[in-house]
Amino acid sequence: MNTEEIRKKIRDGEHTGPTSGIAGDKVQANLAILPKEYAFDFLLFAIRNSKPVPIIEVLEAGEFVSRYAKKSDIRTDIPQYNIYKNGELTETVSDIKKYWRDDFVTFLIGCSFTFEQAILDAGISIKHIDEGRNVAMYKTNIETEPAGVFKGNTVVSMRPFKKSLVDKVTEITNEFPNMHGGPVHAGDPKEIGIRNIDKPDYGDSIEIAEDEVPVFWACGVTPQNVVLNAKPEILISHAPGHMFITDINNEEYKS
């Protein structure tokens, strides 16, 4: 199946689950939809914090077709959307056509699936994928650079690797500077303000073996977290793990 067919299956309600592993080597994207009045602050926040918020595409007010996804419709082509009003999750839906407004600006943001694929391609396994779980994510004390109404700390994703592999996964992910890039930290979680590594703030916890080191990357949940802090009238995002599938090859983001 090509990406256009996958998007159609999602649009038709034939695929409703997470998108991990269903789009081969194609870039999958995080979604953030905001009214235009927040768009400048958000875009500036993204530019100032490109590691956690790597912008793939901005669709202008009212636009819902991605130029990087043939015959796409951003209102229907994601399996599940979360709708937040005034900072609170109010609904999870599979179609946002009835919520759509002409002043909605859509941001597509890079996702760690891209660099994870590169790690897998290098013959290195990733524990949470092997175990069929969501990646563990944590709030940290790493400050972002604020912009307008948006401020808050970086959220990171964590993957445990054997000590001997840390340099290698660092090297591989450094090659994707516009897809979160290399790790922001490896080793003691306390150094970045994580008190209990067994209790992630998002996603599923994962065991860290004796000979493994927790490695942390800036995570695309950061912008969602920061936006919700500002309690905008409305934010629509993808439900975790339910991404927008583009026609771009992951390799195109390799530096």
Binding residues (CB under 8 A) for a copy of itself: these are 36, 39-40, 43-44, 47, 55, 58, 60-61, 105, 147-148
Q: Which amino acid is at 61?
A: A
3-state helix, strand, coil in the chain (%, to 5): 25, 30, 45
- Among 202, 206, 62, 86, smallest CA distance to 138 is for 202
- CA angle (226, 35, 234) in 5-degree steps: 60
In the complex with a copy of itself, which residue's Cβ is closer, 25 or 60? 60
Distance of closest approach, residue 198 Cβ to a copy of itself, in angstroms:
40
Distance of closest approach, residue 84 Cβ to a copy of itself, in angstroms:
21
In the complex with a copy of itself, which residue's Cβ is closer, 43 or 213? 43
Distance of closest approach, residue 229 Cβ to a copy of itself, in angstroms:
17
Cβ 214 vs Cβ 158: under 8 Å: yes
Distance of closest approach, residue 103 Cβ to a copy of itself, in angstroms:
11
Rounded Cα distance, 46 and 26, in Å: 22
Nearby residues of 148 by Cβ (< 8 Å), 6 or more positions away: 38, 40, 41, 42, 44, 45
In the complex with a copy of itself, which residue's Cβ is closer, 152 or 203? 152
In the complex with a copy of itself, which residue's Cβ is closer, 18 or 177? 177
In the complex with a copy of itself, which residue's Cβ is closer, 53 or 137? 53
Q: What does R_g of the chain's alpha carbons equal in angstroms?
A: 17
Rounded Cα distance, 142 and 150, in Å: 15
In the complex with a copy of itself, which residue's Cβ is closer, 38 or 113? 38
Distance of closest approach, residue 216 Cβ to a copy of itself, in angstroms:
27
Distance of closest approach, residue 3 Cβ to a copy of itself, in angstroms:
23
Tokens representing 46? 């993204």
